[in-house]
Amino acid sequence: MANIRVYQAWKGSNIFLCGGRLIFGPDARSLIVSVLLVLVPAVIFCIFVARNLLHKFSSYNSGYAILAATIIYTVYVLVLLLFTSARDPGIIPRNSHPPEEEFCYDSASAEGGRPTPSLQFPRTKEVFVNGVPVKVKYCETCMLYRPPRCSHCSICNNCVDKFDHHCPWVGQCIGMRNYRFFFMFISSATLLCIFVFVMSALNIKFLADDHRNVWKAIKASPASLVLMAYCFISLWFVGGLTGFHLYLISTNQTTYENFRYRADRRRNAFDRGCTNNFLEVFFTKIKPSQNKFRAFIQEEAPRVNPRPIPEMAEQSGDDRRTKVEEDLEIGDDILKLSQRRDHYGQDDFKRRGSDGFPRESPEPDFKLSSDMQDPTMGQLEDLQSRRTGSFGTSQHILAFNAIVSESRRA
């Protein structure tokens, strides 16, 4: 266990590379498609369009600036894509056991009718954020109460802080620690599409001026027309996504919150104003990861349960019931002995006269008295030896001792 690192025993569906330094979602293969969608048009532009624009401007170096800017900006977009998809989005470490401090002990009636203790704890809790009550839920998988704005991603199988959505194009969840890079990626991709579209249209214009015909210009550079069509379609996706996230940032919402709570029309507890919301996203320090994926797994010490185990509580209840049943049995024995003594006392009274002296021979009376006293005292000693600790102060024993004392004095 000491030689196993955290990422090697990770319970989520993530993919780790470079010894746990890079973390991806389970659909990381889609990242290759996204890279190609950015890289291939940029390469086509540099080869078939930017090269034709090298000498089309009055300044000799302006054309080279277009080519260099395209290369640098494409690399910048790809780096943002890597930062978005290859880092911890804000995964909340899962617990190895449920939070016992939140358990409440209830007694539920079992089939036998006896109360049996059971463990229960609330599935939701209410916390206040800026004076507004916000409900947080308990995650059965991660065994923790999710912080506000946290949600469990079913694809990555992790609870992510400030969960926005799971993006299949980057193969990663978008959360607190990579949302900034995600927005910078889609906005930069939008600007790159606009730049390529404008430069391709400009190249067709220059060719049309040279050939004095638009169709001849398109035939001379069909790549320019293809790039213009590609960028136009892409702008509907990345451009529309950029506009939507600009709205979310200005109102301090996540995509998950917007789609789920939009119909509730309740107050947004996290909205701090448009300016402060933008400052929070772009100019605050990114929190460090709560997971040390390269650390070695430490063995947990055995946990001591300070509360009684339900099985032990049930067993102690059985012991108490057995003890009560024994008390009742011994009490019945004492009552029978008391009734027996009364019976023998009445027979002895019949054998005596009204003056108290024996009518015939004293032997039967003596034998009767001996038979009455010896078994009674023997059974009393036996009963006291069986339950010395619990019946020494019993009311039945005290009453019986009083009866025996009176018989001896008589």
Catalytic sites, residue numbers: 167
Q: Would you give the distance in Å from CA 257 to the centre of its chain?
A: 19
The two three-digit tokens of residue 203, written as one number: 């190249």
Distance, in Å, from the CA atom of 94 to the CA atom of 12, rounded to the nearest integer, reads 10
d(CA 238, CA 25): 21
Report the C-alpha gap between 347 and 365 in whole angstroms: 9
Rounded Cα distance, 267 and 278, in Å: 19
